[in-house]
Amino acid sequence: MAKQWGQKAEELEITNRISNMGMAKKDESNSSDSDEVADNANRADTSLLMKIIRQGLVESKLDIEIQRKDPNSPLHSVKSFEALHLKPNLLKGVYAMGFNAPSKIQETALPTLLADPPQNMIAQSQSGTGKTAAFVLAMLSRVDTNKNYPQVLCLSPTYELAIQTGEVAAKMAKYCPEIKLKYAVRGEEVAKGTAITDHIIIGTPGKMLDWGLKFRLFDVGKIKVFVLDEADVMIDRQGHQDQCIRIHKCLPSNCQMMFFSATYDSAVMDFAEIIVPNPIIIRLLREEESLDNIKQYYVKCKNVEEKYRAICNIYGVVTIGQAIIFCHTRKNASWLSEKMSKDGHSVAVLSGDLTVEQRIAVLDRFRAGLEKVLITTNVLSRGIDVEQVTLVVNFDMPMDMNRKADCETYLHRIGRTGRFGKAGIAINLIDSSHSMEICKTIEAHFGKKIQLLDIEDADEIEKIGA
Ligand SMILES: Nc1ncnc2c1ncn2[C@@H]1O[C@H](COP(=O)(O)OP(=O)(O)OP(=O)(O)O)[C@@H](O)[C@H]1O
C-alpha cells in the first residue's frame, strides 16, 4: 500500500510541477492588469477571518453522515467528555476552556480518533463547529511523554492558522506541562544538527519539510499522528499539495491520518481517499442557503453610470436596513465607494487588498451599523453573517473564470439576506447582453423568477420595500 501510494505521489508531484509552472505564468500575466482581475476569496484567509470574529461554537442540528471503510471498526458517539476516558489533566484542560459537552463533530469523531488501533479519518464540518478542538484533543491524547521526540505533526496552510491551532493546543494542555509543543513557522529557527525533542510540531508545510526532510531535525519515520487542518487547501493542486505529499511519503505506514476541513470539492475528496488508507469519512451536512424569502429583481442599465444611478434611486426610495453591494473587481469596488462617499453616503469597502485585521475592523463597524452600505467583492461571498442586511446588490453579476454564470456564488451572496424568516431583496444590475445572459442562466438554474424593475418608476421601487 505504502509503495503504491509512493509511486502515485511521485507521479502526481511531477504532474503538479508542470501544471504549477503553467499557473505561475498565468499569475504573472495577470499581475500587470490586476485591477481587472476578479477579487476572489482566499480560503485560508476566510477561515482565519471567521475564526477571529466568531464568538463561539456554531451549534448544528443537522445530520451527520458517516461512511465506514473498515467494516470491523466500531463507531459510536459520546455525549460527554468523560466517556472518552481522557487523561485526567487533559479533561481538566477541556473544562477549563468552558467546554461542557462535545459538539456534534466532536461526539462523532473523537471515539474513532482515540480508538485503538488508530483509525484514519477524513472529516468535513462547517466552520466553527469544533473541528480544531477535536483534532487537537486527539493529538494531545496520543503523545507519549516518555519519549522525547516528535510524534505528532499538524500542518496548516498559513502562519496565522498554525498559530491559532497551537494556541488551542497550549490552552487544552494547560494542566499537562510535560507535553511539549513546537511551531514550525517562519521566524522559528532550530540550529542545524540539533534534534527536536518536542512531542508535537504544528506548522506550515514549507518549514516542516525543511526541518523534517532537508535538515533532518526530527525523524518523520517516527511520526504516529499526521493532521492536515484545512485539508482541502492543503491537498489542492493549487495549494500545498506538493509539499504535503513529500512529507506524507516519509510517514510510517501505521501513522494515523486525520484530515479536517469545512469543505472538500470532489476532486480533493477523491485525492484524499487515495492518500488516506481505509478512512472513516464523516460529513456534517451543511445548512442550505436558500432563495425562498428573497425577492429578486433585475434593472436594465446602459452603462456603469446608470448602474450607479440605479443604486442611488433605490437607496433614496426604499428604507433599507443595511446593504451589501458586490463588485467583480477591486477597481470597481473602490470606484463605486469613492463615488458614493462623494455623494454623501456612508460606505465601507472590503476587498482582498485589506489584511485580515483590517477586514475584521471593517466588518465590526458595519455590524455596529456605523456604515449602512458595504461594498465588497467575492472575498465576502461566503460564510459571513450580518443579520441586519436586507438588500444585496449585484453591481456586477457573479461569473466564473470562463465568464459564465456562477450560480453557487450568487446563492452565497444573496442567500444570506432572507434568513430566519426575514424578507430580503436582491437587485441585479444588468448593463450588457453578457450580464443579461448570466441573469437568465441563474434564473433558470434556481427556477425562481427574477423580475424586471423600472428604476425610474418611484412607485414600483417603493413596492419592493413593502
Ligand atoms: N465542545 C465545545 N463546547 C463549547 N465551545 C466549543 C466546543 N468546541 C469548540 N468550541 C468553541 O467553538 C469555537 C469554534 O471551534 P473550532 O475553532 O474548533 O471550530 P472549527 O470547526 O475548527 O472552525 P474552523 O473551520 O473555522 O477552523 C471556538 O471558539 C471553540 O473554542
Report the residue among 43, 49, 57, 161 best suited for mutation to probe ligand 1: largest number of ligand atoms under 8 A from its CB. Answer: 57
Protein residue closest via CA to atom 8 of ligand 1: 130
**Residues 57-87 pLDDT 10s:** 776 666 777 776 665 665 678 889 999 999 9
- Return the top range by mean pLDDT from 27-36, 41-50, 91-100: 91-100
CA of 173 to the centre of ligand 1 (A): 16
Q: Is the CB of 128 under 6 A from ligand 1?
A: yes
What's the pLDDT at 427? 93
Pairing of strands 322-326, 373-376: parallel
**Residues 92-138 pLDDT 10s:** 999 999 999 999 999 999 999 999 989 999 999 887 889 999 999 99
| Residue 3 clears pLDDT 60, i.e. is over it | no
CA of 348 to the centre of ligand 1 (A): 29
18 — pLDDT class (breaks 50, 70, 90): very low
CA of 135 to the centre of ligand 1 (A): 11
Q: What is the mean pLDDT of residues 45-53?
A: 76
CA of 99 to the centre of ligand 1 (A): 9
**Residues 249-277 pLDDT 10s:** 999 999 999 999 988 888 888 889 889 99
**Residues 148-172 pLDDT 10s:** 999 999 999 999 899 999 999 999 9
Please identify, by atom number, the ligand 1 atom nearest to the C-alpha of residue 164: 17
For the chain, what is the HEC assignment? Answer: CHHHHHHHHHHHHHHHHHHHHHHHHHHHHHHCCHHHCECCCCHHHHHHHHHHHCCCCCCCCCCEEEEECCCCCCCCCCCCCHHHCCCHHHHHHHHHCCCCCCCHHHHHHHHHHCCCCCCCEEEECCCCCCHHHHHHHHHHHHCCCCCCCCCEEEECCCHHHHHHHHHHHHHHCCCCCCCCEEEECCCCCCCCCCCCCCCEEEECHHHHHHHHHHCCCCCHHHCCEEEECCHHHHHCCCCCHHHHHHHHHCCCCCCEEEEEECCCCHHHHHHHHHHCCCCEEEEECCCCCCCCCEEEEEEECCCHHHHHHHHHHHHHHCCCCEEEEECCEHHHHHHHHHHHHHCCCCEEEECCCCCHHHHHHHHHHHHCCCCCEEEECHHHCCCCCCCCEEEEEECCCCECCCCCECHHHHHHHHCCCCCCCCCEEEEEEECCHHHHHHHHHHHHHHCCCCEECCCCCHHHHHHHHC
| Residue 27 clears pLDDT 50, i.e. is over it | no
**Better-predicted residue by pLDDT, 345 or 214:** 214
Lowest mean pLDDT of 60-74, 185-199, 342-356, 367-381, name the range.
60-74
| Residue 418 clears pLDDT 60, i.e. is over it | no
pTM score above 0.90: no
Q: Is the CB of 130 under 6 A from ligand 1?
A: yes
Taken in order of first residue, the domains within the chain and their CATH numbers are 2-284 (3.40.50.300), 294-464 (3.40.50.300)
| Residue 21 clears pLDDT 80, i.e. is over it | no
Q: What is the mean pLDDT of residues 435-451?
A: 95
What's the pLDDT at 268? 85
What's the pLDDT at 225? 98
Residue type, 358: Q
Give ipTM to 2 decimals: 0.98
- Nearest one of 405, 390, 404, 385 to 446, comparing CA atoms: 405
Please identify, by atom number, the ligand 1 atom nearest to the C-alpha of residue 55: 29
| Residue 409 clears pLDDT 50, i.e. is over it | yes
| Residue 454 clears pLDDT 80, i.e. is over it | yes
CA of 77 to the centre of ligand 1 (A): 18
What's the pLDDT at 287? 63
Q: What is the mean pLDDT of residues 424-444?
A: 95
Q: Is the CB of 50 under 6 A from ligand 1?
A: yes
2 — pLDDT class (breaks 50, 70, 90): very low
